[in-house]
C-alpha cells in the first residue's frame, strides 16, 4: 500500500537534518560489534516504551535486543530447550504457521501438540488436563540432554507458544483469567510460555468512527503476570513467561529487529548464546536507527496517530464488506473483540460446512487473483486432528488500500458462489 507505506517511510527517516553520523559516538557504536544483550540505548528506549504502554516497571536489564520475533523464537528454543528433555511443545491452535516451522527446525516436531482456542483465547482446561496426563505417561528414563548444559541457562521440560493478544491468525485475545491460569500451570510444570506479543500496539475501538486513545495495552502480558506473582520457593530466577516483541509491525518488517522481555537471568542466558557473544545482538545498525526514532517520539506518534486510525478504518471497511457480501452466503465472522477493542492484522472467518477452505483458497488464487490463508495452513504439525480448521479462512486487512479491501471481499464472494 503506497500511501501508508510512504507515511511509514517518512516516520522511519531520522531527524530531518540529522543522520546517524551526526553524533559520532553513536555512529561508531552502531557500526561496530555490540554488547551481548544488544544496543544499550535501544534497550533503554524499549524499556521506556513498554513501561508506559503496559504500566510495568522500566528496567532495561529485562530487555534483550533481537533480530525480530522469528529469529528470537529460534534463539530461545536453541538456548532453553533440548530435544531429549523438552518433550512437549504446546501451540495454541490455529497457530502462526511460521512459528510452527521454527519449532520443527529446532527438532521439536515430535513434541508438538495443539491446544484448541475457544472464546477465551485458549482452552485452558484442555491444556491443564493434557499437561497432567503427559506427566503421568512420562517414564523416569526419558530425560537427559543432547546439548551441553550452560551455567547461565536452563532447559525447560515443556514449552507453550501463544499469541495472546490479537492473535495471528484468529485475531482472538486471551482472557485475563486464562492468562493467570496459564502462568500458574507453567510454574507448576516448570514450563516456559513464549508469548509473541507482536500486535499489542495495533488496537482500536470497533464501535464508532473515532480512533480510541489507545495508548495503554488492552491486557497485561503473561510476562507481567509472572513477574507480579509471588516469588516461587527454590526459584532458579529464570521465570516461566517471556514476551517476544518486534518492530516489524510498528516500523517495518525489513528492520529485522525486536526484543525479548524476561527475567534478568533469562536475558543473560539468551544473550550468552554462541551466535551473540560473537559480536552482540543481530541488527545492531537497525537497532541504532530505531533507538533514535523512539527517543525522538516519532515512532510513538506514528503508532498512535497513523497506524491505529489507519488500521481501524481498514478493519471497519473489511468487516462491513464481509457482512454485506459474505454473511448472506453463510460465512461467519469469528467475534474477537474484548470490550469493544479489537486489533492486529486479520479477520478469521468460518465457511459453511459444505465448503472446504483449501478449495476456496485455490479458486481465489487461480480465478480471482486473490491470496488468502486457508485454515489448514495454521494446523499444528503432527496434531492436526485436535482442531478442525478445514472450514476457516484468514483475511488480512492491514496491507491493501481501502478500495482494494472491498474488491477483495467481492472476489471472495464470487469464488464462494461459483463453488456452492
Ligand atoms: C505471531 C507472529 N510472530 C512473529 C511474526 C514475525 O515477526 P518478525 O518479523 O519480527 O520475525 C509474525 C509476523 O507475521 C507474527 O504474526
For the chain, the average pLDDT equals: 92
Are 281 and 334 part of one and the same domain? no
Are 354 and 403 part of one and the same domain? yes
3-class DSSP state of 203: strand
Q: What is the pLDDT of residues 93-122, one digit of tens each?
A: 999 999 999 999 999 999 999 999 999 999
Are 218 and 353 part of one and the same domain? no
Pick the more confident residue, 134 or 63: 63
Are 29 and 126 part of one and the same domain? yes
- Sheet harboring 112-116: ordered strands across? 63-66, 258-261, 241-246, 191-196, 158-162, 88-93, 112-116
168 lines ligand 1 (CB under 6 A): yes
Q: What angle do CA 25, 288, 276 make, to 5 degrees?
A: 100
Partners of 245 in beta bridges: 259
Cα 115 to ligand 1 centroid, rounded to whole Å: 20
- Output the pLDDT for position 17: 42
70 lines ligand 1 (CB under 6 A): yes
Are 42 and 176 part of one and the same domain? yes
3-class DSSP state of 148: coil
> Is the distance from CB of 106 to CB of 97 less than 8 angstroms?
no
Number of CB atoms found within 10 A of residue 244's CB: 27
Q: Which of 75, 91, 96, 221 to mutate to test the pocket of ligand 1 (most atoms within 8 A of CB)?
A: 96
Are 109 and 158 part of one and the same domain? yes
CA distance 117 to 265: 31
296 lines ligand 1 (CB under 6 A): no
Q: How far is CA 19 from the centre of its chain?
A: 31
92 lines ligand 1 (CB under 6 A): no
- Burial string for 39-48 (b: 16+ CB within 10 Å, else e) reads bebbbbbbbe
Cα 177 to ligand 1 centroid, rounded to whole Å: 25
Q: What is the pLDDT of residues 177-227, one digit of tens each?
A: 999 999 999 999 999 999 999 999 999 999 865 555 567 999 999 999 999
- Burial string for 135-153 (b: 16+ CB within 10 Å, else e) reads eeeeeeeeeeeeeeeeeeb
Q: Is the pLDDT of residue 70 over 90?
A: yes
Kindly report the CATH number assigned to the domain that includes residue 324.
Answer: 3.90.1150.10
- Burial string for 70-105 (b: 16+ CB within 10 Å, else e) reads bbbbbbbbbbbbbbebbbbbbbbbbbbbebbebbee
Cα 96 to ligand 1 centroid, rounded to whole Å: 8
What does the DSSP 8-state code read for residue 46? H
Complete DSSP assignment for 83-146: TTT--EEEEEES--HHHHHHHHHTT-GGGEEEEE--TTSS-HHHHHHHHHHHHHH--GGG---S
Q: Which of 253, 272, 296 is the last residue of a domain?
A: 296
258 lines ligand 1 (CB under 6 A): yes
248 lines ligand 1 (CB under 6 A): yes
Cell numbers linked to 52 = 508506559
Cα 22 to ligand 1 centroid, rounded to whole Å: 32
Q: What is the mean pLDDT of residues 68-81?
A: 98
Are 125 and 259 part of one and the same domain? yes
Pick the more confident residue, 140 or 420: 420
Q: Is the pLDDT of residue 300 over 80?
A: yes
Are 261 and 321 part of one and the same domain? no
- Output the pLDDT for position 22: 58
CA distance 263 to 237: 7
- Residue closest via CA to ligand 1's atom 16 equals 168
Cα 141 to ligand 1 centroid, rounded to whole Å: 37
Q: What is the mean pLDDT of residues 75-85?
A: 96
CA distance 52 to 84: 40
- Output the pLDDT for position 209: 59
Q: Is the pLDDT of residue 229 over 60?
A: yes
Are 167 and 216 part of one and the same domain? yes
96 lines ligand 1 (CB under 6 A): yes
Are 139 and 276 part of one and the same domain? yes
Nearest to 70 by CA among 36, 88, 47, 97: 97
> Is the distance from CB of 170 to CB of 334 less than 8 angstroms?
yes
198 lines ligand 1 (CB under 6 A): yes
Name the packing angle between helices 97-105 and 69-80 (round to 10°): 30
196 lines ligand 1 (CB under 6 A): yes
> Is the distance from CB of 135 to CB of 168 less than 8 angstroms?
no
Q: Which of 278, 296, 314 is the last residue of a domain?
A: 296
Domains: count for the chain: 2
42 lines ligand 1 (CB under 6 A): no
Kindly report the CATH number assigned to the domain that includes residue 114.
Answer: 3.40.640.10
Element of type H or E holding 259: strand 258-261
- Residue closest via CA to ligand 1's atom 9 equals 248
Cα 304 to ligand 1 centroid, rounded to whole Å: 20
Q: Which of 266, 296, 326 is the last residue of a domain?
A: 296
Place of cell 489507545: 214
Are 292 and 221 part of one and the same domain? yes
68 lines ligand 1 (CB under 6 A): yes
Q: Range of 237's domain?
A: 2-8+16-296
User: Residue 68 CA: which ligand 1 atom is closest?
Assistant: 10
Tell me the pLDDT band of 281, cut-offs 50, 70 and 90: confident
- Output the pLDDT for position 144: 80
253 lines ligand 1 (CB under 6 A): yes
Q: What is the pLDDT of residues 332-381, one digit of tens each?
A: 999 889 999 999 999 999 999 999 999 999 999 999 999 999 999 999 99
Cα 2 to ligand 1 centroid, rounded to whole Å: 22
Q: Which of 69, 95, 165 to mutate to test the pocket of ligand 1 (most atoms within 8 A of CB)?
A: 69
Are 326 and 394 part of one and the same domain? yes
User: Residue 258 CA: which ligand 1 atom is closest?
Assistant: 10
Q: Is the pLDDT of residue 16 over 50?
A: no
95 lines ligand 1 (CB under 6 A): no
Partners of 347 in beta bridges: 395
Amino acid at each position: 500500500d503506497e500511501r501508508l507505506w510512504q507515511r511509514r517511510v517518512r516516520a522511519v527517516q531520522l531527524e530531518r537534518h540529522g543522520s546517524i553520523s551526526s553524533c559520532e559516538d553513536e555512529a561508531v557504536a552502531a557500526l561496530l560489534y555490540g554488547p551481548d544483550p544488544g544496543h544499550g540505548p535501544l534497550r533503554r528506549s524499549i524499556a521506556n516504551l513498554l513501561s508506559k504502554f503496559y504500566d510495568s516497571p522500566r528496567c532495561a536489564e529485562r530487555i534483550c535486543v533481537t533480530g525480530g520475533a522469528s529469529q528470537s523464537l529460534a534463539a530461545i528454543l536453541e538456548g532453553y530447550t533440548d530435544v531429549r528433555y523438552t518433550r512437549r511443545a504446546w501451540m495454541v491452535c490455529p497457530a502462526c504457521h511460521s512459528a510452527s516451522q521454527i519449532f520443527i527446525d529446532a527438532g521439536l516436531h515430535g513434541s508438538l501438540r495443539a491446544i484448541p482456542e475457544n472464546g477465551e483465547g485458549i482452552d485452558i482446561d484442555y491444556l491443564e488436563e493434557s499437561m497432567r496426563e503427559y506427566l503421568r505417561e512420562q517414564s523416569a528414563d526419558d530425560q537427559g540432554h543432547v546439548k551441553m548444559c550452560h551455567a547461565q541457562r536452563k532447559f525447560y521440560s515443556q514449552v507453550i507458544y501463544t499469541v495472546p493478544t490479537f492473535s495471528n491468525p484468529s485475531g482472538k485475545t486471551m482472557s485475563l483469567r486464562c492468562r493467570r491460569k496459564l502462568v500458574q500451570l507453567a510454574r507448576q510444570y516448570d514450563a516456559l510460555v513464549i508469548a509473541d506479543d507482536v500486535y499489542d500496539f495495533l488496537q482500536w475501538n470497533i464501535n464508532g468512527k473515532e480512533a480510541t486513545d489507545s495508548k495503554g495495552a488492552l491486557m497485561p502480558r503473561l510476562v507481567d503476570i509472572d513477574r507480579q506473582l509471588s516469588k516461587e520457593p527454590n526459584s532458579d530466577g529464570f521465570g516461566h513467561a517471556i514476551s517476544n516483541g518486534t518492530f516489524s509491525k510498528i516500523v517495518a518488517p525489513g528492520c529485522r529487529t525486536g526484543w525479548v522481555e524476561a527475567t534478568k537471568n533469562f536475558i543473560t542466558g539468551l544473550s550468552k548464546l554462541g551466535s551473540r557473544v560473537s559480536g552482540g545482538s543481530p541488527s545492531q545498525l537497525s537497532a541504532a536507527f530505531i533507538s533514535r526514532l523512539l527517543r525522538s517520539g516519532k515512532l510513538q506518534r506514528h503508532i498512535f496517530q497513523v497506524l491505529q486510525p489507519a488500521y481501524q478504518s481498514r478493519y471497519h471497511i473489511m468487516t462491513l464488506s464481509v457482512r454485506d457480501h459474505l454473511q448472506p452466503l453463510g460465512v461467519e465472522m469469528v467475534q474477537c473483540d474484548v470490550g469493544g477493542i479489537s486489533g492486529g492484522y486479520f479477520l478469521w472467518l468460518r465457511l459453511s460446512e459444505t465448503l472446504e477452505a483449501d478449495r476456496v483458497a485455490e479458486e481465489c488464487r487461480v480465478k480471482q487473483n486473490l491470496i488468502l490463508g486457508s485454515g489448514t495452513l495454521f494446523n499444528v504439525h503432527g496434531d492436526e486432528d485436535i482442531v478442525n480448521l478445514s472450514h476457516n479462512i484468514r483475511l488480512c486487512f492491514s496491507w491493501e488500500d481501502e478500495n482494494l479491501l472491498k474488491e477483495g471481499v467481492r472476489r471472495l464472494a464470487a469464488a464462494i458462489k461459483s463453488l456452492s
